[in-house]
Amino acid sequence: MNFYAVKAIYRFEMTRMFRTVVQSIIAPVLSTSLYFVIFGSAIGSRITEIDGVSYGSFIVPGLIMLSIMTESISNSSFAIYFPKFTGTIFELLSAPVSYGEVLLGYVGAAASKSVIIGTIILTTASFFVDIEIAHPLVMIWFLLLTCVSFCLFGFILGIWATGWEKLTIVPVLVIMPLTFLGGTFYSISMLPPVWQTISLFNPVVYLISGFRWSFYENADVSVGLSLGITVGFLVVCLLIVRWIFKTGYRLRG
């Protein structure tokens, strides 16, 4: 294993995060904190409890998911797209590194950033609303799985994208609506039956539901199914990345 290469990529990417700390950390934390202030403290105080949990507390897992999903995609897609855009990707392609090592470096760094952001948001949320974590290990497991899966998804997006517009189109037009409609701000049991059924086709519902269960032990779908869908998404992303490296899709001529 080329340990030095993994370390070099990881360090390089983490340095980029600390260099752009406002954009990488402060911005997502601030915007999520605003959600807590508005929906949690201001409006939330006038909304009744959901499944025995105050509205402010109820939205915390969903907001953490919303933030780490968008940040994971953004971090890893940019990390691989930028060298493609500037042309410095030649060095990575000509280096003695396997695709597993490239993934460890880039996805590892992007996932680390997402975990840091998730942890900061969770800590910030605790200043605004009451939070209890019923199953901390399950919570950490869901957090890590989601970060890694969506970083892999972002990595695929970064390789697929041939322009800046394509890079932003999927997070804005696909991920954001799926997250908002995936139960970030509500329980899908609050929806009419037809919309409940339609919501079950949204994979984000399972991620948020499972993550929320680890906090308050209430979920829209079974936690086993949530875990299965998350792992399934991770496996699909890994298979796509494997195919990309094997064929050189949009990387090698």
The residue (of 96 and 224) whose beta carbon lies closer to another protein is 96
Residue closer to another protein by CB (options 48, 94) is: 94
**Minimal distance, residue 72 CB to another protein, in Å:** 22
99 vs 195, beta carbon nearer another protein = 99
Q: Which residues of 150-166 are buried (b: 16+ CB within 10 A; e: fewer)?
A: bbbbbbbbbbbbeeeee
Q: How far is the CB of 19 from another protein (least distance, A)?
A: 7
- Summarize the chain as % helix, strand, coil (round to 5): 80, 0, 20
Beta carbon nearer to another protein, 83 or 203: 83
Phi, then psi, of 50 in degrees rounded to 5 = -115, 120
Of 90 and 195, nearer to another protein (C-beta) is: 90
Give whichever of 19 and 197 is closer to another protein, judged by the CB atom: 19
Question: How many angstroms separate the CA atoms of 106 and 37, rounded?
Answer: 34
Q: Give the DSSP per-residue string, 173-203.
A: IIIHHHHHTTTSSS-GGGS-HHHHHHHTT-H
Three-state DSSP at 53 gives strand
> Cβ 96 to another protein, closest distance in Å?
4
Dihedral (Cα; 201, 34, 139, 185), 10-degree rounding: -30
CB of 88 to another protein, least distance (A): 5
CB of 92: closest distance to another protein in angstroms?
7
Q: Which positions touch another protein (CB under 8 A)?
A: 2, 4-5, 7-9, 11-12, 15-16, 19, 83, 86-88, 90-98, 248, 252-253
- For residues 56 and 40, the answer to whether their CB atoms sit within 8 Å is yes
- The β-bridge partners of 50 are 53
Q: What angle do CA 152, 123, 14 make, to 5 degrees?
A: 40
Q: Considering beta carbons, is residue 30 or 95 the nearer one to another protein?
A: 95
Minimum gap (Å) between residue 100 Cβ and another protein:
13
DSSP letter string, 135-146? -HHHHHHHHHHH
Phi, then psi, of 53 in degrees rounded to 5: -120, 135
User: Smallest distance, Å, CB 127 to another protein?
Assistant: 33
